[in-house]
Structure 1
Amino acid sequence: MKNFTITTNLIIVIFLFFADQMKAQIVNPPSTEFTNACASPSFNTYNVKFSFESTLINASNQFILELSDENGSFSSPEILFTSAAGTITTSPATINFPVPTTIAGEAYKVRVKSTSPASTSSGSNSFAAYYKFQDTPFTINNLNETGVYCAGGSYLLTIDNPGTGDNDSPLQYPSLTFNWFKETSPTTSVFVDSGASLAVSEPGTYFVETNYGSCSSNSFSNRVTVSQASSGGSTSISSSFGNPYCSSLGATTLSTVSGGVSYQWFKDGNEIADATSDTYTTDQSGLYEVNVSLGGCSTSGSINLDANQFTSSIDVEEIPAVNLMPASGTLTITLIDTATNPEYEWYLNDVLIPGATGDSFEASQTGDYKAVIKQTAGCISSKEFLFVIQETFPDVENIPNLISPNGDGVNDTWVIPKEYISGTNAEIILISSQGEIVFQTNDYQNNWPQTELNFIDVNPVYYYIITTEDQKTKKGSITVVK
């Protein structure tokens, strides 16, 4: 009788063990159908797929999708989705959901729970997730290009709020954080510090980005070059229209270092009344000087401004517009100018065209052109015009899945069959691999990409959706190579 009791108890224990195992395995870990969740006001829809033992699910069951914290912990999960009772009965299943606007981190996970019977999956693979409230360039220090501090002191860089013009300051979104960087070369930089401002005590060029971690972003500032001054040292003055500059363009703005305690401008040795800021606007030639007090030290600078007049124009559309080659196969371009003793140069795809030295040129090839007018007497200066000539619309048979926008004039833009371009009312939508719509039009001009693409990934892939006027759809991908 004793042996029978032991055997019975053992069977009960084994049964309970396997029952718990079956219960724990009702819902399997979900798989995310995205790499990173880079959400924004214009895009916030993501999918996860999961499987479960459908024979064990009761009719009243609900599935709940939970989100961990930014470190992957489910100690206090956030509910992203709850299904209605009995609506998900077939495995595998897909859940669509938006991420919270408070999300910001590199190691989030999701998991799925069932209510009848109660079961919880383990977490998914980790993923970065951010809600990009603000995703456009913004300004710091009112767009001043330079700053200066005294030895032993510092110069404060701050994000403008609201900034200048149409500046969309990220400070309007309290949940955002920021990372400051110092340039180490024209294309590289190092992280310096975090925060809405930065006290600089080391010369260099600085900028700030909104912290969206692994998610790509256009939320970054202008550059400010900061230098150290000593009493009696010199500083630079820049002219917004260059020097020499043509006064026909209007007045030019002279700028010196920002952040000074006080300023005083002079022209030809005479103090200019009320000229006491870090900028001064003028359309007159002359020797301009400025004295800057930085509190613990002072500095000064000068510029000999030449404001001779030189007007010019061209009779074709300049970039970003496009000029179409006429049916005759040639297009004549003419320059008009008031330059003294002018010289002319014409370029095709950045190569000087031999023998093209007049104020007009007859183009017989498509490509990227540049016309240069040089004034060789008086105010030595030049003016250049950039323009593009393209075929009216080339007749291509297939939709290409590869482009190379490297400026060589070959396959630089996505050129598609005439049945989908301007005048057909076909809608073109291009979507990044992160799921963001990067281009949308009903009047496609065979001109994407119009601006330089950010090669964060090697050979990035975009996806297109073409919907014709009669609602027929074409879908595919475009790989971008340099």
Structure 2
Amino acid sequence: MTISEPDQLNPTISDLEEGTYILELTATDDDGDKASDRINISVLSESINLPPRVDAGKDQYFVVPVSQIVINGIVEDDGVIDLINWEQTAGPEVTLDGINTETLNITNVVPGNYNFTLVAVDAEGSTGTDAVAITVLAEGEKIPPIIDAGPDTTIIFPQRNIDIIGTAFDPVNEDEIISFSWRQISGPPTTILYPDSSVLHLEQLLAGEYVFELSAANEDGMVSKDEVIINVYASEYEGIKAPDYFSPNNDGIADFWVLENYENLSNDLLLIIFDKAGDIVYEADNYQNNWNGTANGGGRQLPEGVYFFTISVNGTVVKTGSVTLLR
């Protein structure tokens, strides 16, 4: 894999091979504080038919009177789409128009909670689905803020500071003022700055798991809460995570055994897989998350069962365990 302009927000990635890649974006501010986020990229064989990607849109809120609600769905596929269908799965009876298109028009709406599901089927019979919730409020009805304390995050020493970015908004009146309050639920002691803002700044984090709760209140005094987990590891070895099982059956789901939090070690990492008899069935230097249940030397598919692994960095074993291969 080649990354051009890795110091830019929109790099170009080339020379990809079949397998799963994990990319990490790190940003550093003027004070030297860092924050990171990761994305998984799976490169599949041309022979694999992926199900349609379906997006029914974000949840929406309305206050009566409302004459019409329009939901703009998105359907994409690596081939040809044979069928698109909207279905109402909850809520009072309404009139639907455009149920076989990406855009659904809803009329004759009354206050209530509605759910709609968008289904797409491609020419090879693969199906993709997504759902959206629509809330229609009576005039004068109040609702608490919609809140998100941010994604769970992992950091590794020497990084010991982090910003947690929370968000909240009033779904009916997006201009309404929201008040924020953070508190620590669990974890070692740490320095907490700006607990009354949407962005919580943490300093001098110790190794361990932290849980923080974000509360958001609107002008009507209605409160919503959400939690976020921060895992802090003392070494980059400690953060390596290995799945307990995977299922390499070419369905595009868990086809590869994907390690997490090992990217900085990949050039020096040796993975060895053993069977129950202790024989080596797979070995890879600079492992690239591309083991699909085949043995070294000919690509023989290994049978279902429990296998054992060692992960070594620069000749030192840093992690051992077992993995179950399912077919």
TM-score range, shorter chain: 0.3 to 0.5
Higher relative contact order (CA 8 A, sep 6+): 2
Query: Which structure is higher in helix share?
Result: 1
Larger radius of gyration: 1
TM-score, length of structure 1 as denominator length: 0.28
